[in-house]
Amino acid sequence: MITLTGNTVMLRALEPSDLDFLYTLENEESIWELSNTVTPYSKFVLKQYLDNAHRDIYEVKQLRLVICTQENGKVIGLIDLFDFDPKNHRVGLGIIIASEADRGKGHASEAVALVCKYAFQHLQMHQVYANVSEDNKKSIHLFTKAGFSEAGLKRDWIFSEGTYKNEYIYQLIAHVH
């Protein structure tokens, strides 16, 4: 199992003890737009998911890691590599810091840096990309600060609360020497 360590956060594999955190987060309706969720998840379904979380990224095309603080090991969020495409050397990136109280402290920036380094060095990715709703100013700032560039606009991509929203794609291309 993978563990990535930074100055303020540690990224680790999902554990059975993460069930309650996952249940709370996945059933938070305010973030369903970010995760393309439309219905709640039961603890039973999430337990099955956790039971299979050890499966290889090459098999399931996804890697979900838990973001914990270095200070006390508190679970504060999740970071995902998704749509893993080893043929074209690219992978999507999604991140959530669950509590407003844990945001704005640099944890997300460090988690993004750690997982991008992992994607480039260990998975031999050429690019990491993120899909960001046009009104998600904090994520736009996060990815821009991390070196991602706006690569395109998907018009009317997300239907939410009776209206369409645009979504940007941000890319971080590996430095090829």
Mean pLDDT, consecutive 10-residue stretches, the chain (177 aa), reads 85 90 77 60 73 80 94 94 97 94 95 97 97 94 97 93 93 82
List, in sequence order, the alpha helices (H) in 38-154.
43-51, 57-60, 107-121, 137-145
CA distance 153 to 167: 6
Q: Which two tokens stand for residue 97?
A: 């810091």
Q: Which two tokens stand for residue 28?
A: 């938070």
pTM (two decimals): 0.88
Give the per-residue pLDDT at 31: 63
What range does the domain containing 40 cover? 3-173
Domain count, the chain: 1
What is the edge-to-edge ordering of all strands in the sheet holding 163-173?
A: 3-5, 9-13, 63-69, 75-85, 90-97, 127-133, 163-173, 149-160
CATH at residue 165 = 3.40.630.30
Give the per-residue pLDDT at 39: 66
Give the per-residue pLDDT at 35: 56
Q: Which residue type, as a one-letter code, is found at position 170?
A: Y
